[in-house]
């Protein structure tokens, strides 16, 4: 049987029509033709057809391939655009899946709505410890950190732990504070226990979160399996065939490996090891773990916190909080020690750095440690605020891994945090690309939306997906071209994972991971990009998601 795809006019649904294939030539699994194929190869060539066998591309070219091969399945793409499967270079797959067990506080407008959503959640789940995530005080009328007075009144006997949208702060009630053993005299290094007039507010930033983490029971293996399966399905629906999980424990990495080997999940995962000494020691002793679906050869390190919760380490005080600039979460000496260990074991170091002080420290350590190393491909995750004098320290050895929707989400308040002058070195994706030559693009989901077209739109248009056509572009001099944005979501992201020889483009010998779109994002009006839909996601030459009638 052979298959081709066609689109009903003004419809996003996929119609599968089965036809009998009558052809001669080499027997293969799949032939796709009559398509507009962006190969994203070295020359950025376009093609109209390709052939897949045993899960890999074996020929890429024109309509002549129809006569040369005898496919078990044929796809007539009806002129639709086809791209390599998208790669999300920085996200939290497990976090996305586990969010189904938490109260969704995204887009709430204040404390009262937060409490309302918690009450609705509890009516269904009746949890002994209430967890929620996604609140952002920058979206509220009062943009200062909340206190827990109303949380205490509404939930006096049940601990409540609510994580901020950036994952770098908790907002907890008094019951949780008591269970964690926190009092006004408790001190923490590399974080902040926020107080007002000497009293605890319930807001805990960065390392202070760990004080509460100990009272939160770990999710069961069954819940994590459900989480991974749900998150994978969301990835396939959004055209993602590989994701970079930014920080996992040894236990969770091996859970992914076991699920992949059983066929329970098939999403490709580049898993960064969380900065836990025991886990790092385990993997560096055993060496790189690599299969067709899993790649474990990197460690995620935190240099600072987030700008939204004022945990990003800045060289000078926050513009909207005089006397506060925040510190590094880890000393430069510790950064250097970790870097030297990872380099000696040929592991990649991927360091979260948002503030200009954090980026300066990481750049200094990287350049010192990597001086004699030819191709380390170490990464700075986020690289969000860079001082003018530090851009020159980026180079081909250091890859900025950035999330374009962070810029457009933060645009409403970033100038308040940084001031106009310092903002010029923030979210500077084009400048970073010019210095490094490569840029890996991701979303940081579930912090931001998983939708890759929002990433593409934010990178190119520098506008928020929630804005209007007349919305002014945010720092437009650092916009990327469509070519650069696509490269960052495919070929360059694969390169940042040491996987450029197996994915990131449609070329002979690479995995047959590709997506079919209902419009050509390289040509259509930029303001129509967000309306793009996935027609089908194909992994190893097999459909893992389709829009069917």
Contacts of 271 (CB under 8 A, 6+ apart): 244, 245, 248, 253, 256, 294, 295, 296
Task: Please give the pLDDT value at position 549.
Answer: 40
Question: Is the pLDDT confidence value at 12 over 90?
Answer: no
What is the rounded distance in angstroms from the CA atom of residue 413 to the CA atom of residue 392? 27
**pLDDT confidence of residue 25:** 81
Q: Evaluate whether 147 touches 201 at the Cβ level (below 8 Å).
A: yes
Question: Each residue of 181-210: pLDDT tens digit?
Answer: 999 999 999 999 999 999 999 999 999 999
- pLDDT by residue (tens digit) across 229-267? 999 999 999 999 999 999 999 999 999 999 999 999 999
d(CA 548, CA 536): 9
Our CA angle for 270, 274, 280, nearest 5°, is 95
Structure-token match 């309509």, residue found: 63
Please say whether the dihedral angle defined by the alpha carbons of residues 53, 59, 63 and 69, taken in this order, is positive or negative. negative
**pTM to 2 decimal places:** 0.91
Name the nearest CA neighbour of 163 among 181, 150, 176, 179: 176
Distance (Å) of CA 446 to CA 15, 114, 443: 31, 18, 8
β-strand partners of 196: 199
Got the DSSP string for 389-428? GGGGG--TTEEEEE-HHHHHHHTTTHHHHH-HHHHTTBS-
* pLDDT value of position 326: 87
């Amino acid at each position: 049987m052979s298959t081709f795809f066609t689109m009903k006019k003004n419809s996003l649904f996929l119609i599968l029509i089965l036809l009998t294939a009558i052809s001669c030539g080499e027997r293969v699994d799949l032939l796709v033709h009559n398509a507009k194929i962006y190969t994203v190869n070295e020359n950025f060539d376009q093609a109209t057809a390709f052939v897949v066998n045993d899960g890999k591309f074996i020929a890429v070219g024109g309509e002549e391939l129809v006569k040369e091969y005898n496919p078990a399945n044929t796809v007539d793409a009806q002129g639709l655009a086809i791209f390599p499967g998208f790669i999300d270079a920085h996200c939290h797959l497990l976090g996305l899946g586990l969010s189904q067990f938490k109260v969704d506080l995204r887009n709430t407008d204040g404390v009262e709505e937060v409490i309302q959503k918690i009450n609705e959640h509890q009516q269904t789940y009746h949890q002994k410890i209430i967890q929620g995530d996604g609140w952002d005080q920058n979206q509220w009328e009062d943009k200062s950190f909340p206190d827990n007075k109303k949380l205490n009144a509404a939930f006096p006997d049940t601990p409540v732990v609510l994580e901020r949208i950036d994952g770098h702060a908790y907002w907890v009630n008094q019951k949780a504070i008591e269970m964690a053993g926190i009092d006004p005299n408790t001190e923490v290094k590399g974080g902040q226990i926020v107080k007002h007039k000497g009293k605890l507010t319930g807001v805990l930033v960065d390392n202070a979160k760990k004080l509460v983490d100990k009272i939160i029971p770990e999710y069961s293996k069954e819940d994590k399996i459900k989480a991974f399966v749900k998150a994978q399905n969301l990835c396939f629906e959004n055209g993602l065939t590989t994701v970079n999980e930014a920080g996992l424990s040894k236990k969770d990495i091996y859970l992914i490996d076991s699920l992949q080997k059983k066929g329970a999940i098939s999403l490709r995962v580049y898993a960064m090891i969380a900065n836990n000494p025991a886990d790092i020691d385990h993997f560096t002793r055993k060496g790189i773990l690599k299969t067709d679906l899993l790649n474990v050869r990197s460690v995620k390190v935190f240099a600072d916190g987030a700008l939204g919760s004022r945990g990003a380490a800045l060289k000078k005080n926050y513009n909207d909080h005089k006397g506060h600039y925040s510190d590094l979460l880890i000393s430069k000496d510790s950064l250097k020690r970790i870097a030297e260990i990872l380099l000696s074991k040929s592991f990649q170091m991927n360091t979260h750095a948002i503030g200009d002080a954090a980026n300066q420290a990481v750049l200094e350590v990287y350049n010192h440690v990597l001086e004699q190393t030819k191709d380390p491909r170490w990464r700075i995750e986020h690289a969000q605020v860079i001082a003018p004098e530090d851009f020159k320290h980026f180079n081909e050895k250091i890859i900025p891994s950035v999330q374009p929707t962070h810029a457009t989400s933060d645009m409403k308040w970033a100038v308040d945090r940084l001031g106009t002058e310092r903002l010029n070195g923030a979210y500077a994706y084009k400048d970073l690309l010019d210095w490094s030559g490569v840029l890996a693009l991701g979303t940081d989901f579930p912090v931001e939306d998983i939708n890759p077209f929002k990433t593409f739109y934010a990178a190119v248009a520098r506008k928020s997906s929630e804005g209007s056509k007349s919305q002014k572009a945010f720092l437009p001099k650092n916009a990327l071209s469509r070519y650069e944005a696509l490269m960052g979501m495919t070929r360059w992201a694969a390169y940042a994972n040491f996987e450029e020889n197996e994915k990131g483009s449609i070329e002979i010998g690479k995995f047959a991971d590709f997506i079919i779109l209902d419009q050509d994002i390289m040509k259509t009006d930029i303001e129509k990009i967000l309306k793009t839909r996935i027609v089908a996601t194909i992994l190893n030459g097999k459909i893992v998601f389709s829009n069917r009638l």
